[in-house]
A and B are shown apart, each in its own frame.
Chain A
Amino acid sequence: MIEARGLVKRYGSTTAVDNLSFDVRPGTVTGFLGPNGAGKSTTMRMMIGLDRPDAGTVRINGKNYHDLRSPLREVGALLEAKAFHPGRTARAHLTALAASNGIPRRRVNDVLEITGMGKAADRRAGKFSLGMAQRLGIAAALLGDPAVLLLDEPVNGLDPEGIRWIRNLLKSLAAHGRTVLVSSHLISEVAQTADQLIVIGQGRLLAQTTVAELSARSNSLEEAFFQLTEGSTEYSATNIAYQGSLR
């Protein structure tokens, strides 16, 4: 269970997150949606204490992340694909992280196996493709067998097989009673796994809803999403200029 209350984050004169409140419940995959620059990553960074909110709080299972005694056993986070030293092997990276929270060494082998990293475990992580880096990030998130998972754009760089794998993984994690929050800027991708949706734009909450409810609002889910986020996209391109040459 994640509870965000009145979160505010400013960078200089721009407000990245503006009075954001929502709940993320266990046992289901929650999609965290919004256009580029909506504040998704910033919000997730505040959840695990990387960024300090200017106002508001976010609680995970009733506690501030900073007060968790064994954070990796409670929350697994994949925020950026490359959160590792390029010279360290995948196994050494995971072994070091596991040691910090007293997670047994055999769990490293488990997560390497779960993520299909077994063969690459002893290669230096700097040589990994984006897809492999993403898998290593997911392996790190699963290390402590946490009840809460936060994944920022996890399908980035994955091939179709990898995308299908992660969809099934997320569903399975939620089916075991975990709280799973997955951000994306693609509603079609999120709809493959998520039931619940949190939609934000320009740092503000646009909707806390379900996939079924949102798709009922319009002809298609995508159309409903565009209507919802209209006016809060930071960079909008116009396609009028191309019409002449296409005809």
Chain B
Amino acid sequence: MTTATLTRSASRTAEGYGFRSVARMEWLKLRSVRSTAWVLIVFAAGMIGLAILVMAHQHWATMSPANRASFDPTNNSFAGPALGQLALGVLGVLAITTEFSSGMIRATLAAVPRRPVLLAAKAAVVGAVTLVAGEILAFAAFAAFAAFAVGEAALRAPAPHATLGQPGVLRAVLMAGVYPVLIALIALGLGAVIRHTAGAICAVVGILFVLPLILVPLGTSIQNSVGPFMPMMIAENSLTAVKPQSHTLSPGLGLGMLCLYAVAALAVGSWLLARRDA
């Protein structure tokens, strides 16, 4: 033990903590746990793997003319978000629930007593990391699908693919990368509300996968009116679709709805985080 390091230094910097320094902490936290890498690997595998899987099961040669007319190769490149959204949803949940399960939250809140600043910094870091991963893999999935289609067409039978220059395609690819980001932010908000890893992941799965199933027995009219507002329906029918489909939100409106969900989840999470004892 050295006495020198225990002597309080006379000159101290007066700078306080703020959004930037707290975001820096959150970035260091996110990259220093193994779960982050695992989740991103699952995300990458899901995005690329499902694109290839779907492509491998397309049979253009035997398709009916009606199916050929509605075939949307861009949209078909993005089966991956079905799995990918779960991976990044888990990332968003873990960013806050592991703080509660480990007791880390008490060290964190001692360092950052203004709790909304903490959640805002977490949202910024989770959002930035998932946006980079989402966009890289959206383009990678699109490219993998197109490459596979080109190969298929050359080797066996004709198989159409989309190019980024076609109308609406670039928008669809960009939005495919944004979608899992918004799911991760919704999940972060739910994590702040629920505070338990298992419970929060169940809530994410419930919203993404179970809610659409509940609509099925309620009849076509409810499905057609409520269904388009489900996150996964927005992803499949609004964000990544190039050919227009019935009973769907426009891409812009779909993106707006998802942003609204994320803002609502984070607002409730922030409010509860600030109110409750930690």
Q: Which residues of A contact B (CB under 8 A)?
A: 45, 48-52, 65-66, 68-73, 75, 77, 79-80, 82-89, 92-93, 95-97, 99-102, 110-111, 113-114, 140, 145, 147, 165, 168-169, 172-173, 176-178
Do A178 and B106 have beta carbons less than 8 Å apart?
no
Q: Tell me how far the C-beta of B210 lies from the nearest C-beta in chain A, rounded to whole angstroms.
A: 30
Do B109 and A97 have beta carbons less than 8 Å apart?
no
B98 adjacent to chain A (CB < 8 Å): yes
* Bound CA span A89–B29, Å: 10
Beyond A68-B113, A101-B16, A145-B8, 5 extra complex contacts between A and B, CB < 8 Å? A48-B110, A83-B103, A85-B98, A96-B25, A176-B7
- 19 inter-chain pairs at a CB distance below 8 angstroms, sorted by A residue, are A49-B110, A50-B106, A50-B109, A50-B110, A51-B277, A66-B113, A71-B112, A77-B110, A83-B103, A84-B102, A86-B102, A87-B33, A88-B32, A93-B32, A96-B28, A111-B5, A172-B1, A173-B6, A176-B6
**Chain B contacts for A82, CB-based, 8 A:** 102-103
B35 adjacent to chain A (CB < 8 Å): yes
Do B9 and A145 have beta carbons less than 8 Å apart?
yes
**Chain A contacts for B107, CB-based, 8 A:** 83-84, 93, 97, 140
| Nearest B-chain residue to A52, judged by Cβ | B277
With A80-B103, A85-B102, A169-B1: A102-B29 Cβ-Cβ less than 8 Å? no
B24 adjacent to chain A (CB < 8 Å): yes
10 A-B pairs with the lowest CB-CB distances in the bound complex, closest first: A69-B16, A92-B32, A100-B25, A96-B28, A83-B107, A51-B277, A99-B24, A100-B111, A83-B103, A99-B25
With A99-B25, A113-B5: A85-B104 Cβ-Cβ less than 8 Å? yes
Do B277 and A85 have beta carbons less than 8 Å apart?
no
**Chain A contacts for B59, CB-based, 8 A:** none
**Chain B contacts for A68, CB-based, 8 A:** 16, 113
| Nearest B-chain residue to A126, judged by Cβ | B102
**Chain A contacts for B110, CB-based, 8 A:** 48-50, 71-72, 75, 77, 79
**Chain B contacts for A92, CB-based, 8 A:** 28-29, 32
Do B104 and A83 have beta carbons less than 8 Å apart?
yes
Which residue of A75, A89, A101 has the most chain B CB atoms within 10 A of its CB atom?
A101
With A71-B110, A96-B32: A84-B104 Cβ-Cβ less than 8 Å? yes
Chain B residues with a Cβ closer than 8 Å to the other chain, count: 42
* Bound CA span A82–B99, Å: 11
User: Which residues of B from 15 to 48 have beta carbons under 8 Å from A?
Assistant: 15-17, 21-22, 24-26, 28-29, 32-35
**Chain B contacts for A102, CB-based, 8 A:** 13, 15-17, 21
Do B3 and A71 have beta carbons less than 8 Å apart?
no
B68 adjacent to chain A (CB < 8 Å): no
| Nearest B-chain residue to A146, judged by Cβ | B8
* Bound CA span A95–B110, Å: 15
With beta carbons under 8 angstroms apart, the residue of B14, B32, B35, B106 that contacts A83 is: B106
**Chain B contacts for A101, CB-based, 8 A:** 16-17, 21, 111
With beta carbons under 8 angstroms apart, the residue of A48, A100, A147, A168 that contacts B8 is: A147
Q: Tell me how far the C-beta of A188 lies from the nearest C-beta in chain B, rounded to whole angstroms.
A: 24
| Nearest B-chain residue to A136, judged by Cβ | B107
* Bound CA span A52–B4, Å: 37
Q: Tell me how far the C-beta of A47 lies from the nearest C-beta in chain B, rounded to whole angstroms.
A: 10
Q: Tell me how far the C-beta of B32 lies from the nearest C-beta in chain A, rounded to whole angstroms.
A: 4
* Bound CA span A79–B98, Å: 18
B156 adjacent to chain A (CB < 8 Å): no
**Chain A contacts for B102, CB-based, 8 A:** 82-86
| Nearest A-chain residue to B31, judged by Cβ | A92
| Nearest B-chain residue to A96, judged by Cβ | B28
**Chain A contacts for B62, CB-based, 8 A:** none
With beta carbons under 8 angstroms apart, the residue of A79, A114, A176 that contacts B2 is: A114
Q: Tell me how far the C-beta of B16 lies from the nearest C-beta in chain A, rounded to whole angstroms.
A: 3
| Nearest A-chain residue to B276, judged by Cβ | A52
Contact pattern, B 82-120, Cβ under 8 Å of A = 1, otherwise 0:
000000000000000011001111111111111000000
* Bound CA span A149–B102, Å: 22
Do B277 and A50 have beta carbons less than 8 Å apart?
yes
**Chain A contacts for B57, CB-based, 8 A:** none
Q: Tell me how far the C-beta of B64 lies from the nearest C-beta in chain A, rounded to whole angstroms.
A: 52
Do B21 and A100 have beta carbons less than 8 Å apart?
yes
Do A172 and B32 have beta carbons less than 8 Å apart?
no
Do B277 and A88 have beta carbons less than 8 Å apart?
no
Which residue of B3, B7, B99, B102 has the most chain A CB atoms within 10 A of its CB atom?
B102
B278 adjacent to chain A (CB < 8 Å): yes
Contact pattern, B 58-83, Cβ under 8 Å of A = 1, otherwise 0:
00000000000000000000000000
